[in-house]
Copies of this chain bind each other. A is one copy, B any other.
Amino acid sequence: MHPRLSVDEYTKGILAGDRNTLSRAITLTESRLQEDKILAAAILQNVLPYTGNALRIGITGVPGVGKSTFIEVLGKHITSLGKRVAVLAIDPSSKKSGGSILGDKTRMEKLAHDPMAFIRPSATGLSLGGVARSTRESMLLCEAAGYEVILIETVGVGQSETLVKGMTDFFLLLMLAGAGDELQGMKKGITEMADMIAINKCDGDNKAAAQKAMAAFRNALHLFPKPESGFSNPVVCCSASEESGIAEIWEHVQRFHEITSENDFFIKNRQLQSLEWMQDSVRQMLEENFYDHPDIKRKLTAVRKAVTKGELLPVAAAQQLINLFVKRTI
């Protein structure tokens, strides 16, 4: 890691759109060191007035759906319209494999060399909560550096979509045609979260199947209640490799932005997300303080054992521990 800059140097560099300073500030948000955390917090508070202006888009889909190619093509489309785009990722699997999504930069070579684009792989070695925090903060730093569209990639398994949904304005689900693929490996309930479904790889021999899947999803979505956003979730086909359907998808995103800006859903959703972020942070910090407390650490194993054996009521066990923790607080 480079030597740190001063808070002022980071702030000025980011606001000037300097990619190197931006990168180094993002690295701070990924650090576990207390001094880096304090530095990151100060930078974030400084740039806060310059954040919030980007359109934040979450993109999910199972491995193999073609997310990287799709994001590269969508990103190129957006920069061709004169907008600066940043690509981030939340990838819980990066912890295990060491290789994250986006990690293989060659997969997005064209976009990586586009001066209007900034690509940052998912942080490795952090917990999912840590990655989420770092991605949220990185997003704000990218906004302060002048990026107008943020694409956040995730995989369609586990809790990561809920996290991405909670930090983006628009949530796009990429799918493949094919019996059962909709269910296998895909977290249930995810179609409900999506603002739009795109069936990818609608090309060649796969075209008919993709169009059939599109029709099936359109039918299925009629069964769901109308989204709060006021925007009726479209289901479309696209082919990232043939670059077809991409402009249409971007138009839908634009229309979503217009509709939700008019009906105030956009701003209300942002405010709600901020409050939830605060609430989640409070909960996380409370639990960290609790489970790190020396008295709790000393007692926890014995208490868990008594609970597991059925000797102590779980709620009574919790109360005992809480009494230890709170006695010096109130």
- B-binding residues in A (CB < 8 A): 41, 44-45, 48-49, 51-52, 133, 136-137, 140, 180, 183-184, 187-189, 191-192, 220, 223-224, 271, 274-275, 277-279, 281-283, 285-287, 289-290, 293, 303-304, 307-308, 310-319, 321-322, 325-326, 328-330
Contact = CB atoms under 8 A, between A and B. Distances in A.
Nearest to A323: B285
B189 A311 contact: no
Given A192-B188, A290-B282, A329-B325, A275 B319 contact: no
A44 B271 CA distance: 43
Contacts of A223: 180, 183-184
A304 B286 contact: no
A238 to B, nearest CB: 25
Chain A contact surface mostly: helix
A191 B189 CA distance: 11
A183 to B, nearest CB: 4
Contacts of A287: 282-283, 286
Given A318-B285, A322-B285, A329-B326, A48 B311 contact: yes
A314 B275 contact: yes
Contacts of A282: 287, 290, 318, 321-322
Contacts of A319: 41, 281, 285
6 contacts: A44-B313, A49-B310, A140-B313, A278-B318, A281-B318, A283-B283
Contacts of A321: 282
A317 B183 contact: no
